[in-house]
Structure 1
Amino acid sequence: MIQMLVTGPKPESVAGRRSIAVLVVILTGQFMTVLDGSIVNVAIAAIRSDLDTGGAALQLIVAGYVIAYAVLLIGGARLGDRFTQRRTFIAGLAAFTLASLACGLAWNEFSLIVFRFGQGVGAAALAPQVMTLIQRTFTGAARARALSIYAAIVSGGLLAGQILGGLIVDADLGGTGWRGVFLVNVPIGIALLMLAPRVLPVTVARTDRTVDGLGLATLTSTVLLLVVPLVLGRELGFPLWSWLCLGAGALGLAVFVLVERAVTRRGRDPLFAPRVLRAPGLLATAVTLLMVMGTFGGWLFVSALHMQSDLGYSALRAGVQFLPMGVTFAAAGLCWQRIPAVAHARMIPFGLVLSAASLGWLAWLSSAGAGIGAAASTAFALFGLGNGLAFSPLMTRALAAVPVTLAADASGLLTTSVQLGTVVGIASIGSVFFELMGTTASSAADAVAVAQLICAGTALVAAASAALAVRRMH
């Protein structure tokens, strides 16, 4: 028992119906958290009209969920080790479901923002347990397949969010309008809360692990100092405090490193265990995923708003336009293992270069004032294909080098990169779009084209970072 507490629980071998049941429960929970990050995109026009919401508040409604989600993920991963992944998953699911109900009943923009943060807190407790449970429950080829399904769930949630959000808003069931995009989580959450205690594997709580409160507070403050000025600064004219916050946030990163080193010297658990940070290519992978999701999050936010506000598309039509992207992302994420292994290392940066090229093509189409026709749909599909060829293979290769006993720390690091990238992308790309968007169709077309070009440039940098990550894994 002492040895188990020190090294952590061994992987539990599951098979047949048991393994399917575990995946269904944890990936449905993951699906809900991803869905909630994207389903609001196609409802923002309705929210703006109903609650008379400004641009900054809209960004907080979309990004506030991801802000809380991102900054608390590491703590959520550590809590999973301390109190078991099973208990933490269920607690996070309960909090997420309750906050979703509150969002659906929100009475003004402030209450909606607050409840969105509450959803993020629940998601931060739930989501890191998913990847950790996969790491600890499956081994070898079964783990690779489970991670590929995980990637498909990520893309499926994003795609379903766009389409389901459009259906819900347009259907206006019971006069709920945009509120339905939050209320849809409630019955799903209740069903999962009934199943999870019966299905999820039981592991031993690691009483040797603690939550680094000082490190968590430093990281949370740093992220908020960096993100809040990006979200609110444009609408307020970038006042002095916004620049001071950005400077303090940059300084906070250095302070966080010093805090973590001090925690390690005292023999306590830092948020990022040194052995995890030294895993081959893991840090470079985290940086790459941050840029990939920053590109994706910013592009998705701007595109959804542009289609509804500037092109006059309905919420449903705007959601359906993302279908080619979601399908190709999911297909690539599920089928990449069929590509010869010798090509995997080159496939990852190639996929991100393909994404950058498709975004450049979209920028050219947008600058010409074109709607979403066959050419743009093809570019959407190539964008999804490129990201699919990079996302799941890169994550799978990085996690293969991490011991199972450190699965929670690695999961927390990578999922934090994914979510933090999303919120930074929404804040920064969204701010550029709102700054350039005028009152004419031509100015709106130019604004979305510039935003897409910035995304294309970021994707190219991500390709270089991915090449470095892959090289360090050898």
Structure 2
Amino acid sequence: MPSAASRVSAAQGAPAGTPASTGQDSPAAPGPRGLLPLVLTGQFMATLDVSIVNVAARTIQRDLHASGPALQVIVAGYTVVYAVLLISSARLGGRHGYGRLFLTGTALFTAASLACGLAPGAGWLIGFRLVQGTGAALLVPQVMSLIQHSLTGPSRVRALGVYTAVLAAGAVVGQILGGVLVGADLFGSGWRAVFLVNVPVGGVLLAAGRRLLPAVEGTRARRLDLPGLLLLAAALALLVTPLVLGHETGWPAWTWAMLAASAAAFAAFVRFERRLAARGGDPLIEGRVLRSPGLVPAAAAICLVLVTFSGFLFVCALHFQGALRYGPERAGLLFVPLVVAFGLGGLYWRRLPAWLHPALPVAGLLATALGYGGLALLQRGGGQAGVAVETALAVVGLSSGVAYGPLFGLALGRVGAADAADASGLMNTVIQLGQVLGVSVIGTLFLSRVALPAASAASGRALSVATWVVAAVSVLAALCAHLARRSSEARAVLPPRPAA
């Protein structure tokens, strides 16, 4: 029997099982032709660069004679800057125009990618990677804001489904594409190709964006909460930096000091924002965004999904290349079944019977946990990755894809267009934190049990333990998804508040 949320959604013209939009949405046209492919290509390009450099790291270290710490910053500096600036950039888009910020970020990202591909030394590459992360942070939050403002009803729901597929698949495709490009060594470019591949794509986006992006102007009347931006940026930087670099440096005292300082900075940020709102100011994140039905537990579930995804991919890369001695191309291609299955699940879950839609996040995440459990059993002996492993990867991909789209709908389906910028920055920051937590926590767990290079059996046992933890985190994500569904359904059946 369809849930109350399904009935309310259907009554409002949305597909059954899909959260309805709030009444805050302003009327919008179906959206310019080509808008969705344009903005999602930009999103995919930025997401890709989180992971595409991983498989090229050893080649970069050899060619540029980079030290261990320098290599860490080359790989992780992009993610640190990207995560720290996301919410700030979302608010800037809301103030100065989403299309304008998307094009500015794309131009900066493309120019920095070209500079990275031509970098003569490790120091130059570090600097250009930080600029590249800044460009990504400028363009990414505008994608969701443009979708929220330009599309309504079923068109928006479908767009969010494709958005979520692109968002999660980018990290996995990065591993595959990075391995293929480094292995192909096109025109002797070696590792440089993982950066230069962005240049023609960015050029096309800039040319097409000037014609296709809608004129969605920002709300300049809202003041920029500069003290809040600085407090949040400091808190995120203090959190993300030790998480990214801690496992490689052996968790020295400075990493723990930064984590403690991040907690204090987050507390100061919350206190400041509450006081600002009480004075009638414009806080960085409006309270009504966090009060959107289902948003907080759904965001927690999405964060945990990214913890499992990124952590599992990271330890698999270490095992396959460090213990099984697979080349970057072979190691990357192992994940093709996962990517294809995830894409199919994310794009076609809506074709399932409507009465099943509300149950998909929980059921999909529980099936994902079972898939990870199967992988833990298959890899515990350290054997070669064969058909059974690739089948289990396909199960994980399909079940994750089926769960992820509806879960994103629970988080964002009731956020109005007026709050699109805040919601976009918040969700993208949650996603980046999930990726950082996955690599740091699951990676540390794996590396604490084996020192690479190691025998395949020892590495397999460490991978099995890490994968069992990933399976447990997937179950926790399913619990958060259940809470998000209950919150959304409870809010849907509440009677309207009487007018003041």
Same fold (TM over 0.5): yes
8 A Cα contact 1:136 1:407, kept in partner? yes
CA distance in 2, matches of 1:357, 1:9: 39
Please tell me whether residue 204 in structure 1 is matched to residue 220 in structure 2.
no
Structure 2 residue matching 1:34: 3-state secondary structure: helix
Unaligned runs of 5+ in 2: 1-22, 490-500
| 1:313 paired residue number | 326
CA distance in 2, matches of 1:120, 1:274: 28
Unaligned runs of 5+ in 1: 1-6
| 2:178 paired residue number | 165
Q: RMSD of the alignment, in Å? A: 2.1
Deviates more, 1:159-168 or 1:404-413: 159-168
Amino acid in the other structure paired with 2:286: A
| 1:465 paired residue number | 480
| 2:492 paired residue number | none
CA distance in 2, matches of 1:447, 1:111: 36
1:377-456 equivalence runs, <5 A: 377-438=390-451, 439-441=453-455, 442-456=457-471
Specify whether residues 288 and 448 from structure 1 end up closer, same or farther in structure 2 by C-alpha distance, changes over 3 A only: same
| 2:29 paired residue number | 13
1:239-258 equivalence runs, <5 A: 239-258=252-271
Amino acid in the other structure paired with 1:446: R
CA distance in 1, matches of 2:401, 2:50: 19
Please tell me whether residue 280 in structure 1 is matched to residue 293 in structure 2.
yes
Amino acid in the other structure paired with 2:29: S
Amino acid in the other structure paired with 1:360: G
Deviates more, 1:320-329 or 1:61-70: 61-70
Cα deviation for residue 57 of structure 1 reads 4.8
Specify whether residues 413 and 157 from structure 1 end up closer, same or farther in structure 2 by C-alpha distance, changes over 3 A only: same
Structure 2 residue matching 1:153: 3-state secondary structure: helix
Structure 2 residue matching 1:14: 3-state secondary structure: coil
Cα deviation for residue 256 of structure 1 reads 1.9
Please tell me whether residue 186 in structure 1 is matched to residue 199 in structure 2.
yes
CA distance in 1, matches of 2:43, 2:443: 25
Q: Which runs of 4+ in 1 moved over 4 A?
A: 52-59
| 1:69 paired residue number | 82
Amino acid in the other structure paired with 1:343: L
Amino acid in the other structure paired with 1:95: L
| 1:4 paired residue number | none
TM-score by length of 2: 0.88
Identify the match of residue 359 of structure 1 among 366, 372, 391: 372
8 A Cα contact 1:329 1:386, kept in partner? yes
TM-score by length of 1: 0.92
CA distance in 1, matches of 2:101, 2:416: 21
Structure 1 residue matching 2:448: 3-state secondary structure: helix
CA distance in 1, matches of 2:271, 2:91: 20
1:293-304 equivalence runs, <5 A: 293-304=306-317
Query: Between the two proteins, what is the percent identity of the paired residues?
Result: 48
Specify whether residues 60 and 384 from structure 1 end up closer, same or farther in structure 2 by C-alpha distance, changes over 3 A only: farther
CA distance in 2, matches of 1:203, 1:470: 32
Quick check: which one's helix share is greater?
A: 1
| 2:302 paired residue number | 289
Cα deviation for residue 156 of structure 1 reads 4.1
1:111-130 equivalence runs, <5 A: 111-130=124-143
Cα deviation for residue 296 of structure 1 reads 1.0
CA distance in 1, matches of 2:446, 2:195: 26
| 1:267 paired residue number | 280
Specify whether residues 307 and 52 from structure 1 end up closer, same or farther in structure 2 by C-alpha distance, changes over 3 A only: farther
Cα deviation for residue 71 of structure 1 reads 1.7
Instruction: Note the alpha carbon deviations across 1:168-206, whole angstroms, 9 max, x for none.
Output: 101112221111101100111111111101110002331
